Amino acid sequence: MALTRLERFLTWVLRAFVAFLFAAFQLLAPRQSDGSSKLPPITNPLLMISGIQLAQKIRRKEVMSVEVVQAYIDRIQEVNPLINAMVKDRFSEALQEAAHADRLVQEEEGGEEALQHRLPLLGVPFTVKESFKLQGMPNSTGLLSRRGVVSQGDAPVALLKRAGAIPLGVTNCSELCMWLESHNRLYGITKNPYNTERIPGGSSGGEGSILASGGSVIGVGSDIGGSIRIPAFFNGIFGHKPTPGVVSNEGQYPPASEQQQSFLCTGPMCRYAEDLLPLLRIMAGPSAEKLSLSSEVDLSKLRFFSVPHDGGSPLMSPVDQELLEAQRKVVERLETDLGVKVQKLQLPQLRYSFQIWGALMGAPGKDGKPPKTFAELMGGEGKRVWPVWEMAKWMLGRSSHTMPAIGLALMEMVQSSRPSPFVLQQKEELQTQLEELLGTDGVLLYPTHPHIAPKHHHPFFTPFNFAYTGIFNILGLPVTQCPVGLSREGLPLGLQLVAGKRQDHLTLAAALHLERAFGGWRDPGTV
C-alpha cells in the first residue's frame, strides 16, 4: 500500500505541475492563426518510387540523377512553406553532385553490378535531421546560442554519401531533441502534412514531415525515447530504431553521455519499407556484420505476440480505440496470411515504462558521474540556465528557449538522481521476460503511441506518453514503426514491431509484409 500511495502522490504532483505549465503556455504563447492547409498532391511519378528503385533506374540510365534531384527540389519548394520541415537546403550543390553521378554512370566500364556494389545509392537524394553534422550545414539543434554553428565535416551520414546518395538539406527538430513537438526559437514550428494543425512528432519531426509530404524519399533520424518512431507514426512512414551499438551515434549535438550512448540510436526513416534494410546496412558500415541482414526470413515460422497497451499506467493515456482496432486488424491479417497464431499478452512491468526510462536516463555512468543536466545543455558550452529564472523570462517574452525545454529543466530539479530499487527491479524483470519471450524468432506488436497525431501544443497534457517507445531504448531492442492505414480523420495509424537483440531483420521483413497488406505510406495531398 505504501508504494501505491507514493505512486498516487507523485502522479498528482506531476499532473499538477504539467497543468500549470500548460495553463501558462496557453495564456502566454503566440497563437497560430493560419488554420489547416491542404498539401497539393504529388504529380511527378519520380517522387513515387523507392530509393532502391531510383538507384536502379539511375544505374540503368532509365532516368538521370539530375532529373530526380530536381523533382525533389521542386516538391520541397512546393510544400515547405506549408510544413516548415526543411530549415536549410543545399540545392545548388545537390544538383552539381547529381550531374557528377550521371557522369559516373556514363563512364562506368564495369557494368551495372559493379556500380551497384561500389555505389548502391548513386544519385539518390536524402535528407538529414539538423542535429547531425553535415558539411556546410547548420548544427544548432534548435538552440539560439548555436545559431552560427556550421558543420565542418560529416557525422556517419557520410556513409550514405560514400554510397552515392546526395543530401538535399537538413530538417527541423525539437530544442535539444527532447520533446514530442519539433519546435524551437531558431526555426519555428514544423507541421504535419496530413493536417497542418497537428504535430509531426519529435524530435525527428522535420524529417518525418518532409518524407511524408514527398519532399524526400530516405532520411536519417535519431532516437533516445522514440524520436524516430513517433514522427514516423504521426507522419505515416517507416522508421527503424536499430539494435544499439550497430550504427554510430557520433557527430550529433548534444552528444550522449556514456550511459545514454546505449539508449541513443541512429536509424533510417523512409516512405517505402524496402529501403529500410539496405539503408541500415549502409549506415551500420562494418558493424552490419553483427546483424543477420542477409538472412532470408520465413514469416510463417516466426512467433508473434500482441500487447495492446501498457496495462494502465496512471501517468499515461489509454490507447485510442482506433489504434486498438488497427492492431487487432494487423493480428487478424497476420493470422490469415501466414497461418500463424498471434498470442495476446499483458506485461505488467510496462506500467512502469516512464519511471524506468527516467531512472536509467539520469543514472550515473561507469565513472560514477551523472550525465549533463538538461539545464546545462540548454546553456550551451560551459554555461547553465536557471530554469525558474528562464520561466520568468519566458512569461515576459524574453526567453531564448521553448516552454517544453524550460519545463523539462524544471522537472529535473525535483527528480531524484538515484533510481529506486523497485523501478530497477521492474526493468530487470521486463528485460528478462522479453528476451526469453522473443528469442531469435519472436516479434512483438505494441502501440507506438497512445494517441493519433495530436494538435499543436497538446502534448503538454500528456508529456509521459512517449514511454510507449522510450521503454525499448532502455531495453536495447530493435524496433520498426509501421504505418497501417488512416484514421477516420485521415491521420496515420501505426504500430511498433519489436524483436530480440540483433534480430533487426525480423521486424524489417514483417514491415514489408504489413506494407503490402495495409498499403504503407499514403500521399497526404490525396487524403
Point out the residues that are catalytic: 129, 203, 227
Say how far apart CA 329 and CA 416 lie, in whole Å: 42
DSSP string, 286-309: GGGGGS-TTS---GGGSEEEE--S
Say how far apart CA 218 and CA 239 lie, in whole Å: 10
Contacts of 85 (CB under 8 A, 6+ apart): 79, 171, 172, 190, 191, 200, 205, 206, 207, 209, 210, 213, 215
Say how far apart CA 212 and CA 523 lie, in whole Å: 7
Taking the chain, what is the end-to-end CA distance rounded to the nearest angstrom? 50
C-alpha torsion sign, points 199, 267, 280, 508? negative
C-alpha torsion sign, points 387, 221, 230, 341? negative
What cell numbers appear for 97 in the block?
553532385
Report which of 29, 169, 37, 203 is spatially closest to residue 94, judged by C-alpha positions. 169
What cell numbers appear for 375 in the block?
539545464
Say how far apart CA 66 and CA 103 lie, in whole Å: 11
Phi then psi for residue 53, to 5 deg, are -70, -35
Say how far apart CA 524 and CA 526 lie, in whole Å: 5
What is the helix (H) or strand (E) element at residue 6, kind and residue range?
helix 2-28
What cell numbers appear for 396 in the block?
515576459
Contacts of 432 (CB under 8 A, 6+ apart): none
CB 442 within 8 Å of CB 302: yes
What cell numbers appear for 82 in the block?
506549408
Residue 384 CB neighbour total at 10 angstroms? 14
State how far the alpha carbon of 484 is from the alpha carbons of 42, 239, 326, 369, 396, in Å. 21, 13, 7, 43, 44
Say how far apart CA 337 and CA 321 lie, in whole Å: 24
CB 144 within 8 Å of CB 400: yes
Say how far apart CA 62 and CA 80 lie, in whole Å: 29
Say how far apart CA 354 and CA 371 lie, in whole Å: 18
Residue whose cell numbers read 504503407: 520
- Strands of the 492-499 sheet, one edge to the other: 86-89, 166-171, 125-129, 218-223, 265-270, 238-241, 479-486, 492-499, 442-446, 303-306, 343-344
